[in-house]
Amino acid sequence: MAFPAYELAAAGFGACIGSFLNVVIYRLPQEDPTKRSLGGRSHCPQCRAQISWRDNIPVMGWLLLRGRSRCCKQRISIRYPLVELLTAVMFVLVALRPSAHGPLLLQGAMDASLLLPAIFDATFVSFLIASSFIDWDHRILPDALNIPMMWLGPTLVAFLAPGYAGTLGSGLSPEFDSILASALGLAVGFGSCYVVHVLGGKLFRQDAMGFGDVKFLGAIGAFLGWQGALWTFFLGCVLGAVGGMLQQAITRESKIPFGPFLAIGAVLVMFFEPALREFVFYTWPEWQRTSPLALPIVGGASLVSLLALVLVVRRGRRNG
């Protein structure tokens, strides 16, 4: 089989999973328990008519309907095909990524020994996508997603794909060492967010970070290990600060969901952790030492950031 066929298969499977993620994103946060079930046929959210299978074909269904439901002609959000496309792209990247496990697809063939790690990668990115959109819409990160993922890393993943979350060099069996590495990642992810959650409550008299974020980063740590959890937290904070300032400057909305920024950080860690480590600890310090422009650039960037922060604070006070 030609190499592009594997890519197409990964993309097609990812798009189908993305279609299911749309169901998860829509149904899981529903207040009515009877509407949270992820089974059964899909219905139009406007008129509740059952949706035909041909209209549920990922991406193509939306295109063929021209963005309007067949039953009541109401607009269908473009986010549905975007979620499917995003998941398809992520599944292709998962299949091709060079990681500690190696790429699943290489030189026109599939390495069957790496199939389980790739499945766990795909499960992990699906979790990140669903959680991000739910948090964006409802400002919640549901336990129905967080808790299973917190258990999956230290248990099932550790036995089926030892070393997935890294190793600790404990001298024990690969399976047990992997369980310890995943559990440590869970503890570090959970603990680092929990400290901010507690301190923020004491300092600001309100939650600086929701408890769902705490469990979400714990689940991420269970898959990426303790170093991956810390990198994700760092990147999430940086991206969240920039995104928060932009959002408040544009919309004057001061509260932002933290989950999507943690998810982006986790994806960056999955694919680029060695490059990130190289840049932060070697390339950046070396550039600062050797470039005559380093000080003016860093100083100017700091000044711009300070002015942006002052602008955001002033707008927040006016709105308050």
Identify the domain containing residue 112 by its residue range. Answer: 1-138
- Predicted TM-score (pTM) of the model is 0.85
* Region of 59 on the Ramachandran plot (φ > 0 left; ψ -120 to 50 alpha; else beta): left
d(CA 254, CA 44): 33
Q: What is the pLDDT along the chain (320 residues), one digit of tens a residue?
A: 345 667 788 899 999 999 999 999 988 888 776 666 666 677 777 777 777 777 788 888 888 878 788 777 788 889 999 999 999 999 999 888 765 444 555 544 555 566 777 888 899 999 999 999 999 999 999 999 999 999 988 888 777 777 778 778 777 777 788 888 899 999 999 998 888 878 776 766 666 678 899 999 999 999 999 999 999 999 998 888 888 777 777 777 767 888 999 999 999 999 998 888 898 888 888 888 888 887 788 777 777 766 665 565 555 545 55
Residue with tokens 């975007």: 82
Last residue of a domain, one of 138, 156, 171: 138
Is residue 103 domain-shared with residue 183, that is, in the same domain?
no
**What is the number of structural domains in the chain?**
2
Residue 190 CB: number of other CB atoms within 10 A?
21
Query: What Rg, from alpha-carbon coordinates, does the chain have?
Result: 22
Residue with tokens 């932060």: 280
Last residue of a domain, one of 90, 116, 138: 138
d(CA 95, CA 108): 12
Is residue 216 domain-shared with residue 305, that is, in the same domain?
yes
Looking at residue 76, what DSSP letter applies? P
